[in-house]
Structure formats: structure tokens, C-alpha cells
Amino acid sequence: MDKNKFLNDLTTIENQLNLFTYDTYDKTVSKDIKRNLFALVKVSGSFDEYLPQINQLTFKPTDVLYSEPHHSVREHFDSTKSSLLTIIDMIRRETQFGKLDDIELVKPSTITVPWLWKNLSVKNILWLLGIVVFVASSAYTLGSYVSS
């Protein structure tokens, strides 16, 4: 993902969040801000540890019922807004320290099983094992057929 585009999108969401106040609360806007931040973090693939936090935050309390002018509703709103701004700040700091920079894999002089285990995904490891089992069973079957 392009680092500058990511930071620009993050700043856009941060600006929306800063303009969003308790007095201008709109359920659609609150959901859009959360969804946009969640999607941006998910698409980047580098900050998945923040996804559960973003997903759990709500601008209105969901565990207790308060009448609208109750001070706890405003405190909950402010707490959620502050938490989202903190997450955005943490992501920005991690990005500035190189979290989104591409890390080049060093080509090994020899490919060993530990190197494969460390550098391949589970899907690729299973695919490679499938090929090895297929070749071995085909060789065994062919050898049994030829010898009989």
C-alpha cells in the first residue's frame, strides 16, 4: 500500500472525527467514520491488532440505557472519540517508524526446510506438501506397476 495515500486517508478520517461532536451527533456519520477507519486499517494489512478495538467502540452506550441529556452519554461519546483518535495517532506513529515499508526477503544461499517454514504461508506449505505426496505416491505406484 502506498504510504502517502494511506497517511492522507488517515488524516481525512481524523479530520472527520475532529469535526464530529456530541452536539452534531448523527448515527450515519458515526458509522461511516468507524467503517472508513476499519476498512483503511484492514486494507493496509499492517495494523490488524487495532481492528477489534475499532469494532468494539460505540459512540452511544449499548450496555445501559440513559435518557438523552444524561452526562454519561456525553462522556461515552467523548471517550470513544478519544480512543479512535488515539488509535489513529498510534497508527500514524508506527507508519512514521516504518511499519508500512516493504521488507525485502533475503535470498538464501540454499533453501532449507526452516527457511521455507519461516517464509511461506500455511497455504503454500500445504500446497508444497501436497505436491511432494503426489510425486512420492505416483513414483511408488509406477514402481509397483513396472515391477509386476
Query: Can you give the pLDDT of all 148 residues of the chain as single tens digits?
Result: 688 888 899 999 999 999 998 888 888 988 999 999 999 999 888 888 999 999 899 888 877 776 667 778 888 889 999 999 999 999 999 888 877 665 565 677 888 888 877 878 888 888 989 999 999 999 999 888 888 7
Q: Identify the pLDDT of residue 17.
A: 92
Q: Identify the pLDDT of residue 131.
A: 94
Q: How far is the C-alpha of 29 from the C-alpha of 33, rounded, in Å? A: 6
Cell of 87: 488509535
Give the containing element (helix H, strand E) for 10.
helix 3-19
End-to-end CA distance of the chain: 58
**How many helices and strands (H and E) does the chain possess?**
6, 0
Q: Identify the pLDDT of residue 48.
A: 87
Q: Identify the pLDDT of residue 108.
A: 75
Collect all residues with Cβ–Cβ distance below 8 Å to 44 and sequence separation of at least 6. Answer: 1, 6, 100
Q: Identify the pLDDT of residue 96.
A: 83
pTM beyond 0.75: the answer is no
Q: Identify the pLDDT of residue 60.
A: 83
